[in-house]
């Protein structure tokens, strides 16, 4: 998924808690789903950022040659401006874009 194109808030906003009960019926289950999805999103973004920054890394690491790499700084600034993974996960959950299942509930049926 391209997280750069997702239109969501970049800061925390007040939400109706009833919206979080609708899909699961349990606020704690919803929190676990959101936490796991936010971790997935965060790791995806980190891998992508590391790949882009490594393209501009100097071929040798020499402590005497410390200089600013403008490309790396611009890439880092862009990623800092993206919405946080938690906000992306909340947006996906409220738009019903997350697939989840609870194997414990399936076993009791």
Per residue in 16-39, pLDDT tens?
889 998 899 889 999 999 999 999
pLDDT score, position 1:
64
Full DSSP string of 36-49: HHHHHHHHHHHHHH
- What does pTM read for this prediction? 0.80
Alpha carbon distance, N-terminus to C-terminus of the chain: 33
Domain ranges in the chain? 27-57+68-102
């Amino acid at each position: 998924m391209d997280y750069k194109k997702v239109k969501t808030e970049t800061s925390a906003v007040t939400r109706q808690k009833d919206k979080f009960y609708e899909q699961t019926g349990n606020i704690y289950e919803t929190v676990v789903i959101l936490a796991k999805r936010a971790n997935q999103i965060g790791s995806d973004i980190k891998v992508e950022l590391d790949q882009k920054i490594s393209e501009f890394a100097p071929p040798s690491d020499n402590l005497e040659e410390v200089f600013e790499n403008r490309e790396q700084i611009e890439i880092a600034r862009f990623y800092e401006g993206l919405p946080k993974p938690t906000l992306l996960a909340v947006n996906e959950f409220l738009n019903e874009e997350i697939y989840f299942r609870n194997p414990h509930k399936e076993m009791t049926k």
